Structure 1
Amino acid sequence: MFDIGFWELLVIGVLALLVLGPERLPGAIRSTLNTVRSIKNTAHGFKSEVEQQLRIHELHENLKKAEEQGLKNLSPELEQSVEELKRAAESVQQPYQSKKDD
């Protein structure tokens, strides 16, 4: 990500030590690491959400194609998407069916 070598890190460390002092430097490092960690977690969450939305869109497009073909003579990719959507629909309906049986 960043092209920072050993000498650049050493210069940054010495400057931070001179500016902040030995008392405040550990706290500054901790807060910087926490900020970087939270940014990474946010970016990872955003990335996984986008991937999930793209997957949902792909399944939706495959379902449209399968419906256009009348759900017959489907390619393996379309058939797999339809089966995955059926399993998802069944898993969503299961909690409601058990309440009706009670």
Structure 2
Amino acid sequence: MKLVSAIVAVSALFAAPAFANLDLAKKNACMACHAVDKKVVGPAYQEVAKKYAGQKDAVAAVAKSIKAGGSGKWGPIPMPAQAALSEADANTLAAWILAGAK
């Protein structure tokens, strides 16, 4: 029983950042247009991760897109800028998205 409790506790520690980043995405209304695994208005986060896979500046590029917004990368509907989002939060969201939003 102690082993099971220890495994659950350790799993929770590793899962916490993912939940925190999902909460950050929800707090900033990202999930109104995006989902982890399916297109909503904007692309699925897993598709974004695939598009940027292997690019060394991917976190910076995605964070910049989050902060500045834009159009044309994923279709005709523009993404609104999240200019009030801190650089740290934009980088956290970008890293989480590029990890497949897991």
Q: Same fold (TM over 0.5)?
A: no
TM-score (norm. length: structure 2): 0.27
Higher helix proportion: 1
- Give the greater-gyration-radius structure (CA): 1
